[in-house]
Amino acid sequence: MAYAWHKRMRARDLAEEHRAATPLELFFDLCFIVAVAQAGTSLHHAVGEGHVAHGVGAYLMVFFAIWWAWMNFTWFASAYDTDDVPYRLAVLIQITGSLIVAAGVARAFDDGDFTIMIVGYVVMRTALIGQWLRAAAADPAGRTTALRMAGGLFAVQTLWVAFLFLPESYRVPAWIAFAVLDAGVPVVAERAGRTSWHPRHIAERYGLFTLIMLGESVAAATLAFKAAFEAGVSVRLIVTGLGGVVIMSALWWLYFSRDPSGRLTDSRAGFIWGYGHYAVFAASAAVGAGLSVSAAHLEHETHVSDTVAAASVTLPVAVFLLALWVLHHHRTEPYLPLVLTIGFLAASTFTPAAVPLTALCLAALVAYKEVRTARARPVPAFDPEPA
């Protein structure tokens, strides 16, 4: 798409060919790595210190805020990215807000203080509401949907600001209620008409963000190798690092084994896909935190049992596989391999070698899927060369 100083913000063409992520979208994702890393590190420390229930609960809340901010930007950009100066400036403001959100992750995680994160949301939402109002003014066909989006975002953000003044005892139920309302804004808005998000573009954007989440596993495996060599070549830490590499590679392989864009045919499919990825993203990043817990546990730097350290890896892997099967494969893949895999992961949680066993289990699942896919391909007819 050609760059210009100013364009009329019309809806993008659903049939546009070669639609791909823009450098600005990649820059936006890059800035979100900071927030994801903060959430993963906080989860690692909370679980490692024995605060498992608090750590998991806080992680799910904080990660929702990170994921939802990314979602708001991604779907708007897929429908209305004009790549002109006003659009770029608005996105840069959103990026600034995302960095403020990242700065508040640790405080929200440790103390339940969401003040900084909500300030970051105000910055991001101010720019995003302006984008939707601009779309409403320039795109008559999508005006009602755009105005509903702008109004809904403003109303819910007002509730989030009010959240800061609630008594402590009301915080958790209010957070759940406001999160549900926030997630419901696009559902209500698109009843007036679907925005012109591009299926292939959305599938690519989600794939790229999944890579960012899996990057947490890369970092964790690297730390395991580093600790292994600093400890005088610890075999168990090296095995954990190698297991982390295999786990990360297998999750990548399984996620990208199919092109999902053909299933994103309407708003219902889009909502299932978009919202269902909360589990995929959160589990992906949590695997990295779990690998860090497992490595620290081997160095006797945690205050948890062997089972908890093992579950910090096996549980998010199982959630990832289940969510991926529901979103990608439930119409084409049998459920028995999934059930057997999750059962094996559950059993390996109670062994002293959970990470390598998880790696072997995932490698076997990848091998099974590849063999099954190869057998399902039609055999090409023999075509003898002409004499």
Domains in the chain (CATH in brackets) are 23-192 (no CATH), 199-376 (1.20.1410)
Q: Which residues contact 132 (CB under 8 A, 6 or more apart)?
A: 76, 146, 147, 149, 150, 153
pLDDT in tens, 22-36: 999 999 998 888 888
pLDDT in tens, 98-132: 999 989 988 988 888 899 999 999 999 999 999 99
Residue 82 has what pLDDT? Answer: 87
**Residue of 128, 14, 4 lying closest to 71 (CA atoms):** 128
| Alpha-carbon span 91 to 79, nearest angstrom | 14
| Alpha-carbon span 104 to 58, nearest angstrom | 13
Is-contact 102 119, C-beta < 8 A? no
Is-contact 246 287, C-beta < 8 A? no
Q: Which of 3-17, 249-263, 308-322 has the highest mean pLDDT?
A: 308-322
Is-contact 78 120, C-beta < 8 A? no
Across residues 168-172, what is the average pLDDT? 88
Residue 110 has what pLDDT? Answer: 85
With 60 as the cut, is the pLDDT of residue 380 above it? no
With 90 as the cut, is the pLDDT of residue 145 above it? yes
Residue 220 has what pLDDT? Answer: 66
